[in-house]
Structure 1
Amino acid sequence: MSAYNYNGIKPLSQMKFNISSDHCLYVVSENDMVELAKTKNIDYVDGLRTASGYVAASLDSNILRKLVKDLGFTGRAYEKKVNGKKYVIFKGRPGQRKIFTGTKYLSNNAKVVDMIVGQKGIKTSAIQGARLTIFLTVPLIVLQHVLKDRFLLNELVADLSVSLIKIGISSIVGAVFATGTTAITTIAAAPVALAIVVGLAVSYALDRLDKEYRITERLAKLLEDKTMKQVKKTAWEVEDRLRWQTANSQAMGKGVYY
């Protein structure tokens, strides 16, 4: 996946992605997001959150399209070590390629990595895709909870925790399947296509499991219970301290409030 460049602050209405060799991500300020959410229905924020989970897959799909266009559906690429260095060797359509005009590139070549070819390209894509999804999703999750009629910190923490875990799992599983595909076939587009499909499928399955077994809800309840226990424990400790100070003619609240 290509590098993501952050180019300036734009209103959310101008938020867009330029699908090219470099992807430009327009960032909005917190105030703009709050104002937009107030003027729009809260469901709009929910929709943005859902859509943010598909941005990385959309960018990868565009790279897959470029890869197929350059190499063809059956264009092949495989990794080979030569004199201690790992290279990616391309086969097919030698005179028609516009991106990979050569036949041999180092596996860490920027062009190879950006086009998600080879194991390094797959791993880099998974990391950058997860990072982008987190950058887009986390602020929307926070905003979603802040705009609720009743804001509870334990619910926000639970939602963030489960969401980040789901993003991590889907990215890792997609990368593992894609990397494994490179050992089975030399078709260059296959690992990228599989990474996209598996990543989306795992993400969907995890969302269904979360809703069916109320994982986020149960985690929020667990955090609430633990928080209340800690609050009660602290209150008891403060009360014991104050009682001891009173019984021993000590200054009330010293070491507790001041």
Structure 2
Amino acid sequence: MSSNHCLYVVSESDVVELAEINKIDYIDVLRTTSGYVAASLDSNILRKLVKDLGFTGRAYEKMVNGKKYVIFKGKPGQRKIFTGTRYLSTNAKVVDMIVGQRGIKTSAIQGARLTIFLTVPLIVLQHVLKDRFLLNDLVADLSVSLIKIGISSIVGAIFATGVGAITTIAAAPVALAIVVGLAASYALDRLDKEYRITEKLAKLLEDKAMKQSMKTAWEVEDKLRWQIANSQAVGKGIYY
């Protein structure tokens, strides 16, 4: 199965103009929305899966001659996607429809990649458009955002894999992965805002950078003093 994606190409000047008109709120909206794109695509797959198998359509994994298969229960003649009763767990159709452990893991990885692909440029743009751009703020924001994306994807996949082991309802793992992933993402965003994790990380990076700068300055000063005291060429090895 293949999914259709719509991409809108906007020039840099247009994005900057939109950001200025909306005072960067427009970028905030895009950034928030980008976090739900993967879940939206998974929801569309869930809809197709339910339409093909029904709400209670059943499927389970089974090892046969050393190979893992996904066995579908019900009447294959009434289905349009899974017209057979048995597929390898690595079958492209099975994986794309997020059925079985392989499908769940693949969906989690692809969803995380898509979210990162959409979110990272917006984060960079948001910081570049600020009146006061600080590299440590950008690094902190990127770091925390990537960690949140990773945790949400992993938590969703873990819960989906777990429910897939205790039930044969094919749509259940997909639905749970979407709900848990969104809940985890929301909870992490709330924690970040409440405890100001991104701000604290940015301050920590700033302090570390400041300490390193001071250390370097002291080392340069010590070397210059030694050169002067020993009648050496002042600045040699430092500036030239």
- What TM-score, normalized by structure 1, do the two folds share? 0.89
Give the residue type in structure 1 aligned to 2:86: K
The answer on whether the counterparts of 2:46 and 2:175 sit within 8 Å (CA) in structure 1 is yes
Greater helix share, 1 or 2? 2
Alpha carbons of 1:41 and 1:52: their partners in 2 closer, same or farther (altered >3 Å)?
Answer: same
The answer on whether the counterparts of 2:18 and 2:26 sit within 8 Å (CA) in structure 1 is no
How far off its partner does 1:88 sit?
0.4
Alpha carbons of 1:28 and 1:249: their partners in 2 closer, same or farther (altered >3 Å)?
Answer: farther
Give the residue type in structure 1 aligned to 2:27: V
- Is it true that 1:254 corresponds to 2:200 in the alignment? no
- Is it true that 1:107 corresponds to 2:52 in the alignment? no
How far off its partner does 1:248 sit?
1.8
Question: What aligned pairs does 1:47-126 form with structure 2 within 5 A after superposition?
Answer: 47-126=29-108
What is the RMSD of the two structures over their aligned residues, measured on CA atoms?
A: 1.5
Equivalent of 2:214 in 208, 232, 256:
232
Equivalent of 2:3 in 22, 34, 46:
22
Q: Using the alignment, how far apart are the partners of 1:141 and 1:205 within structure 2?
A: 20
Question: What aligned pairs does 1:36-55 form with structure 2 within 5 A after superposition?
Answer: 36-55=18-37
Equivalent of 1:187 in 159, 163, 169:
169
How far off its partner does 1:249 sit?
2.0
Question: What aligned pairs does 1:213-232 form with structure 2 within 5 A after superposition?
Answer: 213-232=195-214
Give the residue type in structure 2 aligned to 1:234: T
- Is it true that 1:169 corresponds to 2:151 in the alignment? yes
Instruction: Name stretches of at least 5 consecutive residues in structure 1 with no aligned partner.
Output: 3-20
Q: Percent identity?
A: 85
Give the residue type in structure 1 aligned to 2:61: E
Q: Using the alignment, how far apart are the partners of 1:153 and 1:192 within structure 2?
A: 39
How far off its partner does 1:140 sit?
0.4
How far off its partner does 1:34 sit?
3.2
Greater RCO (Cα-Cα under 8 Å, separation 6 or more): 2
How far off its partner does 1:23 sit?
3.1
Instruction: Name stretches of at least 5 consecutive residues in structure 2 with no aligned partner.
Output: none
Partner of 1:31: 12
Equivalent of 2:225 in 200, 220, 243:
243
How far off its partner does 1:39 sit?
4.7
Greater strand share, 1 or 2? 1
- Is it true that 1:158 corresponds to 2:166 in the alignment? no
Give the SS at the match of 1:160.
Answer: helix
Give the residue type in structure 2 aligned to 1:60: D
